[in-house]
A and B are shown apart, each in its own frame.
Chain A
Amino acid sequence: MLSLTRLESHLVPLEAECLRPDTLASLDNTTISRLTVWHGKTKAEVGDFFKVQGSASDGEILLRGDCSRVKLAGSGMTAGTLRVDGPIGMHTGANMRGGLIRIDGNAGDWLGAEMHGGMIVVKGNAGHHTGAAYRGAQRGMRGGEIIITGSTGDELGSTLRRGLIVVGGDTGAFPGINLLAGTIVILGKSGVRPGAAMRRGSLLVPHHKPELLPTFQCAGPLDSVFPALYFQYLEKLAKRLNLNQTLALKSWPQLTRYAGDNVTLGKGEILCPA
């Protein structure tokens, strides 16, 4: 495992999209230390900001220290494991296509934005626009899974096309805005106007009745095994990822189906208590 320890924290963000396990796996530590990062508008090297130890040949990287201003870590990665011991900055795992990012701390905005595959696990909170589409893009996350044990900011899973996002805590406003398909599970409280302009897809909020837009219609209690499949999968996942203590899984009540958003296609659904 390659260990990268942040030497000191700066207010100026560090753009470090080279920090991904699949590309570092074939490089020696000297080469890794000389890889380019951008400190604000200044070109710099990895070694200027991180103490490089160990070897990345096993496809595993550990980021240590205060990385809350480190952006784009793990972005576009296709394989391997990126572990973060502490907070991490914006765009982590953006455009990710495979592998695992595990963050023991809080994550910044745009976590897993437009990701295509792989898994991101956050033992902590995440910022705004998790799994979202960048401004102007037609699709957000297109595959993979994001599991957050804490809460998230606004516009969670905006324009989600495929994949699963699970939030153990609460969300900010507009979760699932413009949802195209895929599934978002919110185990805490949903922010206002969930699923605004959603075309298809599912928002499960099993323990909270959010404030719904008037363009959603109640279809009555949902009689389907589909929520049970998700619940069982989450139980399995929590066990596998050792999240039993942090991901609050208590049995789901009977869910009511609200179909919408009828300002668009209207084939989406919000499942929550009546």
Chain B
Amino acid sequence: MELNQEDNRSMLSIRGIEVEDTYAEAFPLACARVIVTAENPRLVLSAAQAATGNASSVIGCDCEAGIDGLLAPDETPDGRPGASLLFFGYSRPSLELSLVSRIGQGVLPCPTTAVYNGLPIDPAKCLQVGGKIRFFGDGWQISKLLDNRRYWRIPVMDGEFVVEEVFGAGKGVAGGNLIIQGETRDITLQAAEKAAEAMGAVEGVILPFAHGIVRAGSKVGSRYPKLKASTNQAFCPSLRGRVKSELHPRAAVAYELVVDGLDLAGVERSMRVGMDAAAVPGVVRISAGNYGGKLGPFLIHLKDLLPGGA
């Protein structure tokens, strides 16, 4: 570890790019994995985007959601193209509501789709999804029990919508993050895009924000009592001189990459590849956001993610 001469911070580095000796603070959320299939990849993507839309942060959305990855026909239960979607919610009941609403409104209406559970089922902790969506069938729905899994066949205008009755719920990890600071917006955005792509490619994680990149990093609370979160002024370049800045002295721009995963190992793996991808010339610091350990029990130290770290 060295000392950064410009602002007296202890400094780590990756390929000469400064890595701040800090940590991302992640927290547990209930999670579910949903497999959506359809007749062709275009329909899969449309349904997946509809189901995971407006789900960037539990601060203002009913859940956090994203597309984990696209699946080949031989990876799906019905042999058609598919996508794996991850959903994260504060509690199992709230996650169940989100799934029922998002699958019911986002996937069910999309032509040829079907929906399956993607996590192991613990009967005491499962989510009733198809078991509630089935009522759309208005009495014409048909149940099928196959290989100890119950499916509901709901008559719709192009045939049948098939949805699994119960979905497994796991304990996911949300709020893993990196903050990439660079000398110009173009360079920083390119680095962030590259990092987001690498992070999103890790199985079992999603980057819930649009394009995987956040320019509106937030802090907890606000001077306005009704707001749960507000802009993180310490990382806003335009407020330099007005507030205590957390930005590198040469940083003109900062972008945050937020990652949620089915487990801590996946989030760490994603952050590790993200740091590696973001370490390009023009980036002046890779950092992470935390709340002094008050938000969540998972402290992911950046130094542990460096090559040769713990």
Contact = CB atoms under 8 A, between A and B. Distances in A.
A233 B146 CA distance: 8
B6 interface: no
B145 A226 contact: no
A224 interface: yes
Interface in A112-140: none
A200 interface: yes
Contact of A225 (B114, B145, B147): B114
B162 interface: yes
B142 interface: yes
Interface in A202-237: 202, 222-226, 228-230, 232-233
A229 B77 contact: yes
A162 interface: yes
A163 B143 CA distance: 12
Contact of B160 (A162, A200, A226, A230): A226
B188 interface: no
Q: Classify the interface of chain A: helix, strand, loop or mixed.
A: mixed
A58 to B, nearest CB: 24
Contact of B153 (A162, A224, A233): A224
A183 interface: yes
Interface residues of A, number: 19
Contact of B162 (A162, A183, A226, A269): A226
Contacts of A232: 77-79
A200 B141 CA distance: 11
A203 to B, nearest CB: 13
A164 interface: yes
Interface in B29-66: 37
B147 A223 contact: no
A200 B142 contact: yes
A115 to B, nearest CB: 14
A267 B140 CA distance: 8
14 contacts: A162-B145, A164-B146, A202-B144, A225-B78, A225-B80, A225-B114, A226-B153, A226-B160, A228-B78, A228-B79, A229-B78, A229-B144, A233-B146, A267-B142
